[in-house]
Amino acid sequence: MIRIGKPFIYDDGEFAYLKAPVQISSDTVNAYMSLESRFKHVHWRLYENYPPVEWQDDNAGLWFAVPIEYKDYLCVERGDAFVVAMLWYAMVTESDIECEAPVSEKLAFGIKHYLVPALMKEEKGYKRHISLICDTTDIPVANKSAVGTGMSCGVDSIYTLDVFSRPDIPEKFRLTHLTYFNMGAIFHPNRATKKVYSMKEFYDITDKMSLEKLQNAQAVANMSNLPLLYVKSNLDSDYYRGAYGDTGVYRNCACVLATAGLFSVYYCSSGGSNAFDLSLDIGSEYYEGLLCDVFTTESLTFILSDYDTRLEKMQVIQYNKAAQQFLDVCFCFNSCGECSKCLRTLVTLDIMGSLDQFKSVFNIDKYKKNRVNVFVWLLKTKDLPGDDGIHAKLVYDYALLHGFQIPPEAIKIYEWQKRKKNFKAIIKKVFGNIV
């Protein structure tokens, strides 16, 4: 059982906090901790102080904090933000949620009748559907009719900004605010997954990185003449300790619902993969459209930004001034030019002829020196299954369609490596048969 008490607001002069007591029963905590063996792909940080001793404190609870000038927009009259924040935790541990504050009727209805039945299937090993125990209300939360979207400076968020701030977008859907949420989105600084950091070191590092990224988000907001709302939360450090990929959309929507006094529309930037799947064992972006529908309340509509591929988005944002200065796609969070996301972006920009416009983001000289190897990487990756393969194939097809000349040396190396691989496979088969 997860019990969420009545939310309340306080401030420390700099930040205003929306907080609710959260009690998680020991069987739920034990169930959560035992999931480490099942969710191999998530980076759990349960190896120190979990469940946190802080939970025993009478003042313990889940909080969302905003700069004090946004205090009036914190939504204290609903339990929505807290329920959405803890929902994945509840589902994977098969634990009911009891919420003292009323929950928006539409949201409670969507969770009960759509989301829980869709995700907690018997064939996936779930024995029962969880219940949300709370009062509901259909009275809309008063808001300022603001229209927001998150600004991580990635391809998806800059594309959403580009499209939905254009003058042809109707006013009630045109962006008025950007947001930046610090609640666990930066989760894998170097070596972080190898458990070499203490909890304090880990969160100090990620907080510092998050604040650096906040500066970039602020710069993009300034370039776009839009205010930036910063929200921070202890959702990761005191509760989830990982599984960001599985819970990203839940967390983003929870932060927006915490500030429901501001927004009437919020765009969730799509992950750009266009793959759809329904499972608690995969990233929440695979069913982000469903989450947007379910988390919509009587006063706040979540809209999935688009169904475009990253390649289509790149074709637009290659001309975007904010992208040319602040694009941030790197797995290592430092535009390394070596990880698959950097390589994919660089090679796409090269094929589109926009490489030099992104000098402020990437080390273009380093890329040019290594150009042949990057194209070998593209040719090899397009043959692979999974997201990387899908993206690489799209980029490769785009290059062919637009008559782009892939470096002949790269094609030669790729074909030679492919022949070598096939030959090895044949030898193995033959000798395998003899043995």
Binding site for Zn ion (CB under 5 A): 330, 332, 336, 339, 342
Closest to Zn ion by CB, 302 vs 333, is: 333
By C-beta, is 336 or 372 nearer to Zn ion? Answer: 336
What minimum distance in Å lies between the beta carbon of 413 and Zn ion? 22
Compute the distance between CA of residue 195 and CA of residue 329 in angstroms, rounded to an integer: 24
Q: How far apart are CA 309 and CA 238, in angstroms?
A: 35
Of 99 and 392, which has the nearer Cβ to Zn ion?
Answer: 392
**Closer by beta carbon to Zn ion, 275 or else 332:** 332
Q: Which residue has the tokens 């254009």?
A: 166
- For residue 342, the minimal CB distance to Zn ion (Å) is 3
CA distance 62 to 234: 6
Kindly state the smallest distance separating residue 296's Cβ from Zn ion, in Å: 34
221 or 327: whose CB is closer to Zn ion? Answer: 327
| Residue closer to Zn ion, measured from CB, 220 or 330 | 330
Query: Which residue, 2 or 330, has its beta carbon nearer to Zn ion?
Result: 330
Q: Comparing C-alpha atoms, which of 380, 343, 379 is closest to residue 362?
A: 343
Q: How far is the CB of 150 from Zn ion (least distance, A)?
A: 20
Q: How far is the CB of 193 from Zn ion (least distance, A)?
A: 16
As a whole number of angstroms, the distance between CA 302 and CA 127 comes to 30
Q: In whole angstroms, how close is the CB of 188 to Zn ion at the nearest point? A: 12
Cβ distance to Zn ion smaller for residue 275 or 339 = 339
Smallest gap from Cβ 344 to Zn ion, in A, equals: 10
Minimum Å gap between C-beta 117 and Zn ion is 39
